[in-house]
Structure 1
Amino acid sequence: MTISADDVRQLLGAEGEAVLVLIEGRAEVVTAGQLGSDRYLGALEIISRDELLKRTGGADLSDRELEEQAATLNSAVDELGG
């Protein structure tokens, strides 16, 4: 799996307009400003912190819920061919 529960936890704990992206086969949490930089050119945007908060109803998730969100995001990536 490319996206882990720790990636989801990191996104939920991030400040501001954070985004979970895939770049060079790894997941990374970046700011919206970083996403526009050359370093993240070609990165696949998976989900923003705001979108994840709407989906989960808040940032306080159990380990099981974090795993479930990671699995859901991995399925979405697999469907895209990422």
Structure 2
Amino acid sequence: MHVTRDQVRALLDPAGRDHSLVLLEGRTEVVPTGGLTSPRYAGAVEVVAGRDLVDALGSSGAPAEEDLDALAARLDAEITALGA
């Protein structure tokens, strides 16, 4: 599993606030948070909601590409810590 810069960017986008990064069948995906209870996402583990990620970062403007990479690496580390 690998969190990508594009996935982090999608979560930080205003439309991404209603999405979550999840682990599903050995991969990471950005999916609509409201759909997590649907059968399509049965067994998915939510790593972070876009809204929570935006709130944690504050309103310091759009992050640089290096910042997106650093966030992706941090999320990868959190997933590894979960034992996934």
What is the TM-score with the length of structure 1 in the denominator? 0.88
What's the RMSD between the two structures over aligned residues?
A: 1.6
Letter of the 1:70 counterpart: A
Secondary structure of 2:23 counterpart = strand
Residue matched to 2:11: 11
Over residues 18-38 of structure 1, what are the superposed CA-to-partner deviations in whole Å (9 max), with x where a residue is unaligned? Answer: 111111122111112211111
Q: How far off its partner does 1:77 sit?
A: 0.4
Gaps of 5+ in 2: none
Aligned equivalents of 1:7, 1:14: Cα separation in 2: 13
- The number of aligned residues is 82
| Aligned structure 1 segments of 4 or more residues deviating by more than 6 angstroms | none
Residue matched to 1:76: 78
Aligned equivalents of 1:25, 1:62: Cα separation in 2: 28
Residue matched to 1:23: 24
Aligned equivalents of 1:45, 1:27: Cα separation in 2: 10
Aligned equivalents of 2:18, 2:11: Cα separation in 1: 10
Letter of the 1:21 counterpart: V
Residue matched to 1:53: 54
Query: Is the Cα contact below 8 Å between 1:2 and 1:25 reproduced in 2?
Result: no
